[in-house]
Chain A
Amino acid sequence: MQNTLLELQDLTVRFGGLCAVNKLNMKVNTGEAVGLIGPNGAGKTTAFNLVVGVYKPSEGKVIFDNEDITGLPPNEICKKGIGRTFQVVKPFGKMTVLQNIMAGAFVNTAKTQEARQIASEVMEKMGLQSKRDKLAASLTIPERKRLEMAKALATRPKLMLLDEVLAGLNPTEIQDAVLLIKSMIKDGVTILMIEHVLQATMAICERIVVLNYGQKLAEGTPEQVTGNEEVIKAYLGDDYA
């Protein structure tokens, strides 16, 4: 019996007349890696922002770890154990790589020494130790993406929301990143990831949820989902179904 870590119940948000996420129901079990895919504008990032409290849902609930966390502000939700990365990475430019990660590690400790310890471990795991004292603003794109994950990882999340961490990377870099994410899963972090690079997503995730127009279109194993006519239609248009 797996236990549910995150559950979205009828999650809905409207911006003016637009219903960006519409009665979304889904579950993520502890230890799982779930992919969230869908065409541009399907509401994936909005769904993330609803979970982490950037937007308040118009209706519905977010249950995390058997607790209703709907409508809590982002910093509280982080403390509950949900880490997130941003689609457009947001490094703290004028801080070094280590300081960036330390800023995340401070959630669990007030002691600078301990935070440095935690951050160093995360930094090593993410392969950033050679950049330790570089300013984040000077990093390359793949490095920034890794830093983005490292910052979130340093908060010791139970659940990690990854928003297109593979986008913009070349095939070798994607391979490296996939290994990193897999090692995160091995360390016991549950993953929910938005991704456009489908192959990589399938290599990581056991289960995939497809969104379209803010609604759940399909759900299942990677094979089930890619075979689904509705999904193909949504991605490629009616002609290909």
Chain B
Amino acid sequence: MIEKNNKKTIILWAGLAVILLLIPMFVTKPYFLHVIIMCLLWAYLATSWNIIGGFAGQLSLGHGIYTAVGAYVTVMLFNTLGLSPWLGMFIAGAVAVLISLVIGFPTFGLRGAYYALATVAISEGVIVLINSIGDVGKFHVGGAEGLILKTVGNSWAAFQFSSKVPYYYIILILLVLGIIAAKKIKDSRLGYYLVALREDEDAAAAIGINVRNNKLIAGAISAFMTALGGVFYAMLIRYLEPNAVAGAVSMSTQMVFMTIVGGAGTVFGPVIGGILLSLVSEFIRFYLGGQLMGLHLFVYGLIVLIIIIKQPSGIIALFDKLKERLSREQH
């Protein structure tokens, strides 16, 4: 019985893998491939946020800081020094980790809401900062005008491609790695510790868990992963507009929405939420975007509102219920 199920799962996954690998062959219109790429990017970003927000239950509302750090650091290093983004992304990731520690150190010792509010305020501060800085030494930041990636044509070393297809495969790999990382963390000591401290910090400390350190570790991993998402965003869009890369509405809250809508603290919830909400948002923008100002965001907000009211534990809980019903019917 168990073996049969295992076989079924393997076939299911293999089928999914083949479909994902073949998508660029069927989706030939750049617009549609771009939409799919954005879906995967959001799924990846939500997965990254979930490490600290879902597993550890620390409500970061400023993850836009990390996408911005990833994007800006990589582009600045490339534009000014010609450093390959493939290397730049690790420097960017390291900077993001450092920032996460600086933010986490004073706030993680406290409980709950302070962290959430602090992240909002800090990320707003970062946006003001980016908007007001023109140059740092010889590095051009661009201030409110934004920062444009120097284009060099089709080049693997420069992470620049004339076709959307390489971007698709890169983000697919990144997402798969992100999911594997999330799964590994969830099944490891760190994962158990994070969920434990999310449920009760005192009880967690009583069984030997160093609450603050584990939060810091989770925050750092999440920041690193998010920064890599920011790098990908920069390479794909090639233009960094401060409010789009770091903004609360466009970045930080989106990751949270997607994770909650999909199912926080689960491995696949954020993926489902990320893909679903970005599809919804793109679909609405496509059909309602040109019409009445504000209409498409109004509808988007309404849809999120309804999903949260109807399914506060996330869409993945529906799957669990379905599975339970199926197994009950089999018996």
Contact = CB atoms under 8 A, between A and B. Distances in A.
Check A-B contact in the complex, CB < 8 A: yes
Interface of A: 52, 54, 73-75, 78-79, 83-84, 86, 90-95, 99-100, 102-104, 106-107, 110, 112, 115, 151-152, 154-155
A92 B189 contact: no
Contact of B200 (A84, A92, A102, A154): A92
A120 to B, nearest CB: 15
Contacts of B189: 106, 110, 112, 115
Given A73-B205, A99-B192, A106-B192, A94 B199 contact: yes
Interface residues of B, number: 21
A155 B208 contact: yes
A93 B196 CA distance: 9
A50 to B, nearest CB: 14
Contacts, number: 81
Nearest to A52: B206
B211 interface: yes
A61 B202 CA distance: 22
B187 A74 contact: no
A74 B199 contact: no
B210 interface: yes
Residue among A86, A92, A95 with the most chain B CB within 10 A? A92
Given A54-B202, A92-B196, A115-B189, A104 B207 contact: yes
Contacts of A155: 207-208
B193 interface: yes
B50 to A, nearest CB: 14
B327 interface: no
A75 B211 contact: yes
Contacts of A94: 195, 198-199, 265
A95 B195 contact: yes
B5 interface: no
B113 interface: no
A75 B210 contact: yes
A78 B193 contact: no
A74 B206 contact: yes
B188 interface: yes
Interface of B: 187-189, 192-193, 195-196, 198-200, 202-211, 265
A128 to B, nearest CB: 16
Q: Which 9 A-B pairs have the closest CB atoms?
A: A90-B203, A78-B208, A92-B199, A107-B208, A74-B205, A104-B207, A103-B196, A106-B189, A90-B200
Contacts of B205: 73-75, 78
Given A73-B205, A84-B206, A103-B207, A95 B188 contact: no
A78 B192 contact: no
B206 A78 contact: yes
A155 B211 CA distance: 16
Contacts of A95: 192, 195-196, 199
Contacts of A107: 207-208
Most buried by B among A73, A74, A99: A74
Given A99-B192, A103-B192, 10 more contacts: A75-B206, A83-B206, A91-B200, A91-B203, A93-B199, A94-B198, A94-B265, A95-B196, A103-B195, A106-B189
Contact of A86 (B192, B193, B203): B203
A152 B206 CA distance: 8
Contact of B209 (A52, A91, A103, A152): A103
A102 B199 CA distance: 15
A78 B193 CA distance: 14
A83 B203 CA distance: 11
Contacts of B193: 103, 106
Nearest to B187: A112
A3 to B, nearest CB: 24
A54 to B, nearest CB: 7
A86 B259 CA distance: 33
